[in-house]
Amino acid sequence: MRKRLINVFTGIIIGVLLTGVAFAASNINISAVMARDINIKYNGELQEFTDANGAVVYPVMVNGSTYLPVRAVAELVDLPVSWNGETRTVFLGTTKGEVSNEISLFDVNHTKNLEKNFIIRDEELLVAKGSAGNQTFKNGMNYSMWNSDYSFTREDDVITFDVKGYKELTFTTYSTFGDVKIEVEGDKDGTLNTFEVKEGSIVTKKINISGNDKLRIYANGSTGAECRIFEPVLNKQFTQKSISSL
């Protein structure tokens, strides 16, 4: 899972904004300003942060520095975040000694020649050129439509992934040529999610795959259409659930 930094703008310091969290031995009362006039953009897109209850939260100015809510920022960049009320500690990422619930889809058992035929080796192909700017990914697989209105590969060559025990699949799709329709299929529940990706657009999805042992990803498009699937990650927990204490 990528841990991308947010380039907000020069002079903005991303800080922890948790009511009552102590940074020293004791709490200190400070004067702060809720800066509703500050806009936060991520990869060119304007962001609106919310708390666990869905209420909008804003940046806070303290002595000329700008602080953002830690939970909202962590979720934006797919960084695990948790809160221990007893020790009053915020945990970002995987804590020491903890076994991660995440694994790359490429690392589970699968059929067919994934490494030979699909995995992207050229680093230039790991760059998605969207309207809001370029995004670079760590890994991905590339598919080309060989026949109009048919899956991106022949049925006999569609890859089946072993996903037993996992609840969620997250990945980003980028269409390099033509519009494509992505379908995620489970062996127990059939079609789990279907969505369209316009040419040149970048779409990220979190899909509930719980209860399924096998998984396939299809795509349909006109002859010559191409799409890439970047950084597919399986998780044993539902990451979209907010942590109520943060």
Interval 46-69 mean pLDDT = 84
For range 124-143, the mean pLDDT: 88
The alpha-carbon radius of gyration of the chain (Å, integer) is 21
Domain boundary among 97, 127, 160: 97
Region 154-160: mean pLDDT is: 63
DSSP 59-105: -EEETTEEE--HHHHHHHTT--EEEETTTTEEEESSPTTPPPSEEEG
9-57 per-position pLDDT tens digit: 323 334 444 333 444 456 788 888 888 998 888 888 888 888 766 788 8
43 CB-side CA count, 13 A: 15
- Dump pLDDT digits (tens) for 81-124: 777 666 777 777 765 545 557 888 888 887 765 555 578 888 99
Please give the Cα distance from 231 to 33 (Å, whole number): 38
Specify whether 83 is located in the same domain as 107. Answer: no
Task: State the pLDDT at residue 153.
Answer: 45
Q: Percent of the chain at pLDDT above 90?
A: 28
Residue 46 shares a structural domain with residue 130: no
Mean of pLDDT values over 59-63: 89
Confidence class for position 208, pLDDT limits 50, 70, 90: very high
| Pair 109, 228 in one domain | yes
User: Which residues pair with residue 168 across a beta bridge?
Assistant: 208, 235
Query: What's the pLDDT at 94?
Result: 62
User: Do 160 and 226 sit in the same domain of this protein?
Assistant: yes
User: Would you call 81 exposed, middle or buried from its count of C-beta atoms within 10 A (0-12, 13-18, 19+)?
Assistant: middle
Q: Do the beta carbons of residue 180 and residue 221 sit within 8 Å?
A: yes
107 and 190 assigned to the same domain: yes
Domain finish residue from 97, 121, 136: 97
Q: Across the chain, what does the average pLDDT equal?
A: 76
Domain check: are 119 and 79 in the same one? no
Q: Of 97, 117, 147, which residue is a domain's last? A: 97
Q: pLDDT grade, residue 67 (50/70/90)?
A: confident
168 domain-assigned? yes
Looking at the fold, whether 67 and 144 belong to one and the same domain comes out as: no
Residue 51 lies in a domain: yes
Task: Say which residues have a Cβ less than 8 Å from residue 35's Cβ, sequence separation at least 6.
Answer: 58, 59, 60, 61, 66
Q: Is 34 exposed, middle or buried (0-12, 13-18, 19+ CB in 10 A)?
A: exposed
- Containing domain of residue 9, as a range? 1-97
- Residue 196: inside a domain: yes
* 38 and 25 co-located in one domain: yes
Contact 220, 195 (CB under 8 A): no
One domain, residues 107 and 207: yes
Tell whether 127 and 221 lie within a shared domain. Answer: yes
For 106, the 3-state DSSP assignment is: helix
**Do 53 and 114 share a structural domain?**
no
Give the CATH number for residue 230.
Answer: 2.60.120.1060
What proportion of the chain, given as a percentage, has pLDDT over 70? 74
| Judgement on whether residues 109 and 87 belong to the same structural domain of the protein | no
With tokens 């670079």, the residue in question is 136
- Rounded Cα distance between 211 and 167, Å, is 7
Rounded to 5 degrees, φ, ψ at 219 are -145, 145
Q: What is the pLDDT of residue 170?
A: 94
Q: Is the pLDDT of residue 197 over 80?
A: yes
pLDDT (0 to 100) of residue 190: 93
Number of domains forming the structure of the chain: 2
Query: What is the rounded distance in angstroms from the CA atom of residue 81 to the CA atom of residue 243?
Result: 8
Per-residue confidence at 209, pLDDT binned at 50, 70, 90? very high
> Which pLDDT does position 12 carry in this prediction?
35
